[in-house]
Amino acid sequence: MKYEELLKQRMSGESYRKLTALDNGKVMDFIGAFTEHCDPASIFVCTDSESDIQYVRDQALKLGEEMTLKLPKQTIHWDSYGDQARDKVNTRYLVKKENFESMKALNSVEYEQGYAEIMDIAKGIMKGKPAVVLFFSEGPTESPFTIPCIQFTDSWYVAHSEHILYRSAYSHFLKMKDSEKDGFFRFIHSAGELDENNNTKNLGKRRIYMDTQHNIVYSMNDQYAGNSIGLKKHAMRLAISKSGREGWLCEHMFVMAAVNKEKDRKTYFCGAYPSACGKTSTAMIPGEQIVGDDIAYFRNTGGEFRAVNVENGMFGIIKDVNAKDDPVIFENLMKNQEVIFSNVLIGPDGMPYWLGMEVDAPKKGRNHFGAWHEGVKDAKGNEVDIAHGNARYTMRLDYLDNIDQKGFEAKNGVKVEGVLYGGRDSDTTVPVEESPDWKDGILLKACTLESETTSATLGAEGVRSPSPMANLDFVSYPLGRYTMNNIKFGEGVKDAPKIFSNNYFMRGKDGHFMTSKLAKKVWLHWAEGRIHGEYDAYDTPTGKIPRYTDLAPLFKKHLNEDFSEKDYAYLFTFRCTKWIEKLERTKAFFKKMDADTPQEIFGYWDAAIAKITGAREKYGDEILPGVYEA
Ligand code: SPV
Ligand code: MN
pLDDT tens for 373-386 read: 999 999 999 999 99
- Residue 401's pLDDT band, with cuts at 50, 70 and 90, is very high
Query: Mean pLDDT for the chain?
Result: 96
**Ligand 1 in contact with 225 (CB < 6 A)?**
yes
Residues 6+ apart with CB under 8 A from 168: 46, 47, 48, 53, 134, 135, 136, 137
pLDDT tens for 271-330 read: 999 988 999 999 999 999 999 999 999 999 999 999 999 999 999 999 999 999 899 999
Q: Quick one: pLDDT at residue 456? A: 46
pLDDT tens for 520-544 read: 999 999 999 999 999 999 999 999 9
Atom of ligand 1 nearest to the CA of 233: 10
**Ligand 1 in contact with 295 (CB < 6 A)?**
no
Which one, of 210, 48, 239, lies nearest residue 145 by Cα? 239
Residue nearest to atom 9 of ligand 1 (CA): 226
Q: Quick one: pLDDT at residue 480? A: 98
Q: Where are the domains of the chain?
A: 4-65+86-246, 251-313+406-623
Amino acid of residue 22: L
Q: Quick one: pLDDT at residue 275? A: 87
Average pLDDT over residues 332-345: 98
The dotted CATH code for 251-313+406-623 is: 3.90.228.20
**Ligand 1 in contact with 273 (CB < 6 A)?**
no
Which ligand is the nearest neighbour of the Cα of 232? Answer: 1
**Ligand 1 in contact with 254 (CB < 6 A)?**
no
| pLDDT of residue 577 exceeding 90 | yes
Pairing of strands 392-396, 498-503: unpaired
Amino acid of residue 549: T
Cα of 233 from ligand 1 centre, angstroms: 7
Q: Quick one: pLDDT at residue 457? A: 46
Mutation test residue for ligand 1: of 158, 315, 449, 473, the one with most atoms within 8 Å of CB: 315
Residue nearest to atom 5 of ligand 1 (CA): 226
Cα of 470 from ligand 1 centre, angstroms: 12
Residue nearest to atom 4 of ligand 1 (CA): 226
Q: What is the share, in percent, of the chain residues with pLDDT greater than 70?
A: 99
User: Model's pTM, two decimal places?
Assistant: 0.97
Domain spanning 4-65+86-246, CATH class: alpha beta
Atom of ligand 1 nearest to the CA of 224: 9
Cα 93 to its chain centre, rounded Å, is 19
| CB 513, CB 506: distance < 8 Å | yes
Instruction: Please state, in angstroms and rounded to a whole number, the distance separating the CA atoms of residues 8 and 297.
Output: 38
Mutation test residue for ligand 1: of 233, 253, 275, the one with most atoms within 8 Å of CB: 233
Cα of 275 from ligand 1 centre, angstroms: 9
- Burial 459-478, CB ≥16 within 10 A → b, else e: eeeeebebbbbbbbbbbbbb
Which ligand is the nearest neighbour of the Cα of 226? Answer: 1
**Ligand 1 in contact with 292 (CB < 6 A)?**
no
**Ligand 1 in contact with 279 (CB < 6 A)?**
no
pLDDT tens for 239-286 read: 999 999 999 999 999 999 999 999 999 999 999 999 889 999 999 999
Atom of ligand 1 nearest to the CA of 225: 8
Atom of ligand 1 nearest to the CA of 86: 9
Q: Quick one: pLDDT at residue 454? A: 63
Average pLDDT over residues 553-578: 98
| pLDDT of residue 476 exceeding 50 | yes
| pLDDT of residue 455 exceeding 90 | no
Q: Which residues make beta-bridge pairs with 364?
A: 373
Q: What is the share, in percent, of the chain residues with pLDDT greater than 90?
A: 96
Which one, of 406, 410, 407, 361, lies nearest residue 386 by Cα? 361
Q: Quick one: pLDDT at residue 1? A: 78
Average pLDDT over residues 545-559: 98
**Ligand 1 in contact with 253 (CB < 6 A)?**
no
**Ligand 1 in contact with 233 (CB < 6 A)?**
yes
Window from 63-72, 108-117, 510-519, 604-613 with minimum mean pLDDT: 510-519
| pLDDT of residue 492 exceeding 60 | yes
Cα of 17 from ligand 1 centre, angstroms: 36
**Ligand 1 in contact with 226 (CB < 6 A)?**
yes
| DSSP code per residue over 386-423 | SS-TT-EEEEEGGGSTTB-HHHHH-TT-EEEEEEEEEE
Average pLDDT over residues 469-477: 97
Which ligand is the nearest neighbour of the Cα of 88? Answer: 1
| DSSP code per residue over 159-221 | HHHHHHHSEE-HHHHHT--GGGTT--EEEEEE--SB-TTS-BS-GGG-EEEEETTTTEEEEES
The residues annotated as belonging to the active site are 277
Mutation test residue for ligand 1: of 223, 293, 294, 393, the one with most atoms within 8 Å of CB: 294
Residues 6+ apart with CB under 8 A from 177: none
Q: Quick one: pLDDT at residue 519? A: 97
Q: Quick one: pLDDT at residue 122? A: 98
| DSSP code per residue over 328-354 | HHHHHHTSSS-EEEES-EEPTTS-EE-
Atom of ligand 1 nearest to the CA of 392: 5
Pairing of strands 265-272, 414-423: parallel
Which one, of 525, 528, 520, lies nearest residue 504 by Cα? 520
Residues 6+ apart with CB under 8 A from 544: 433, 434, 435, 436, 530, 537, 538
Cα of 295 from ligand 2 centre, angstroms: 7
